[in-house]
Amino acid sequence: NWIVEKLNKIPGVNISLANESPPTLTTNTLSTGGELKGIDKGGISKSVSNNSRAVTDNSRKINTVNIYPKEMITPGQLMEFQELGV
């Protein structure tokens, strides 16, 4: 409504303000008859902590990789590759 109030200050503009009604409370619409099922006492955080497993990290660290091409690319080939978007 504050935007409409600011717009109404412009000469020739008269916009009616919307009636602000308090948000309506929704009724219980659970299909389980109003009872939460499928979550044990302790909530989801307990389920997540119970499902944690030990993970073995098999990663390796490689510091430097050197690539030695058999043939150097020519400037013409480079331009062609750039035009083709390769």
Taking the C-alpha atoms of residue 23 and residue 26, their distance in angstroms, rounded to an integer, is 9
Q: Return the CA Rg of the chain.
A: 33
Please give the angle made by the CA atoms of 32, 38 and 43, to the nearest 5 degrees.
120
Which parts of the chain sit beneath pLDDT 50? none
* 3 secondary structure, DSSP code: H
Give the pLDDT of residue 80: 92
**Residues 50, 43 contacting (CB under 8 angstroms):** no
Give the pLDDT of residue 28: 62
> What are the tokens at 82?
């750039």
Give the pLDDT of residue 18: 75
